Amino acid sequence: MWTAAMAVCLLLRLYNIVAAQVPSLSLAHPAATDGGAMLASAQAHDPAPVPPRPLGDGWGRLHSQLIDQGIQPALIYDGAGFADLAGGLRRGATYLGTAHLQLTLDLSRLLGWPGATLFLNGLSTHGGHPSRFAGDAQGVSSLEAPARWTLEEGWLEQNLFGNQLSILFGRSDRNSEFYRLQSASLFLNSSFGLGPEFAQSGQGGPSIFPNTSVGARIAFKPVQNVVLRTVILDGVPVNRPGAMAIFAPGDGVLQVGEVTYLIRPSSTQPQRSPRFRLGRLAGLPPYTGKVALGGWHYTAKFADLSQTTPTGQPVQHQGSSGLYVLADQTVYVDREHPVRRLNLFSQSGLGDLRVNRFGGYTGAGLVLSVPLVAGASNELGVAVTVAYNSAHFIDQQRMLGIRGEGVEVALEGTYLMQLTAWLAVQPDIQYVLHSNTDPAIRNALVAFLRFELSF
């Protein structure tokens, strides 16, 4: 009943806003654009709209009123052309893409509910599978996913105590806040979103694109620049083979905790929502330095990869855990053009050696903002990611008579061009060594041309 009542109130408020503007609408103009995250942030899809860009006077007034009333729609489309140029499993090309239909509701403005935000994110994934060409295990494309429509996120966030405490309930992408570096998010390889020692853990992975879970997150800011976060989630994503379920028997839960220290520049620029200083819609300026330490733990049972009982059955382990460390720092700023800057980042993680294929991961890189033209929103980056097979996985392969390498390495170079407020283009090239740690697969050279449209 409460949910239905709130929905009716929201619809009535939206109807009143639209009705007041209908006479001035023109069918000659399509819907106005109100962008989401830039292409470089597509792995985590944390909504970050750009200023309104009216396509007609009527729509401009309507759009401004929607924003003023706390109603913020967005349509974000990411597409990528892919080609395996050499090596891997096979040569060839494919196309893949994702579409996000997002709606952010500021319930303080809509319903007089201070500090509350409702967010919905519908996701469509389609296209080919680049890793079936490259033959890699980490995932050369962060867009690759099964073809389907789904509700990727649907959550309610409440800020309390002067915005020092944030509580979020619902279905969410945890890589939007945990195990996240803004410099690493430029790159297309999946490991720069979340290391494979964590991304490929549990029963279907943690709550990240394209398979998210339901749970609750608490974030607390005890002092300036320090944020403590923890989340408890269903141990298995909602979308699972052949069904959809929430907290089914045997799922267990996933617990993640992270402590973060941030350095943010002082800014005189107005932020998207100055009332929210913590949480998914904080609207804070980008940091210039970040250090984070996190840990995760599943409570369900998992089978050992190599050890067996006297009857020949895999040894069962109660629980599975891991740790990670992240760092991102601006090391150079051009005095004449402060937007031109150099960032270095690194990320390392340890997974469960008994039940996970990857027992460890390291990644590092550098990102140069505005490398060529002052004032342009372009970024140039080079990075490397290394995934280490766990000892128990190596033992398993030996028992099966399979000879393999110990690590898979991916080198990536990319260049993001923000051509307009609604269009970004990103050529990218990667070289994968020891694909899938299988000596029979040749090193792969792959290329992408990725773009993003934000409306």
131-145 burial, b at 16+ Cβ within 10 Å, e below that, comes to bebbbbbbbbbbbbb
233: β partners:
215, 254
For residue 54, the model assigns a pLDDT of: 41
Domains of the chain: 137-454 (2.40.160.180)
Instruction: Label the pairing between strands 226-234 and 213-220.
Output: antiparallel
Q: For 202-313, where are the E strands, in sequence order?
A: 213-220, 226-234, 239-240, 243-244, 253-263, 289-308
Element (H, E) at 155: strand 148-160
- Pure H helices in 389-447: 391-399
Q: Express the helix, strand and coil content of the chain in percent, nearest 5 each.
A: 15, 45, 40
- Measuring CA to CA, which residue among 312, 327, 324 is closest to residue 351? 324
CB 41 within 8 Å of CB 191 = no
For residue 377, the model assigns a pLDDT of: 79
The one-digit pLDDT tens for each residue of the chain (455 residues) are 444 444 445 444 544 544 444 333 333 323 332 333 333 333 333 444 444 444 445 555 776 788 888 899 999 999 999 999 999 999 999 999 999 999 999 999 999 999 999 999 999 999 999 999 999 999 999 999 999 999 999 999 999 998 899 999 999 999 999 999 999 999 999 999 999 999 999 999 999 999 999 999 999 999 989 999 999 999 999 999 888 999 999 999 999 999 999 998 765 444 433 333 455 555 556 789 999 999 999 999 999 999 999 999 999 999 999 999 999 999 999 888 888 899 999 999 999 999 999 999 999 999 998 877 655 679 999 999 999 999 999 999 999 999 889 999 999 999 999 898 889 999 999 999 999 999 999 999 999 999 999 88
For residue 300, the model assigns a pLDDT of: 97
For residue 206, the model assigns a pLDDT of: 95
What residue has token string 């319930």? 107
- Measuring CA to CA, which residue among 186, 217, 211 is closest to residue 380? 186
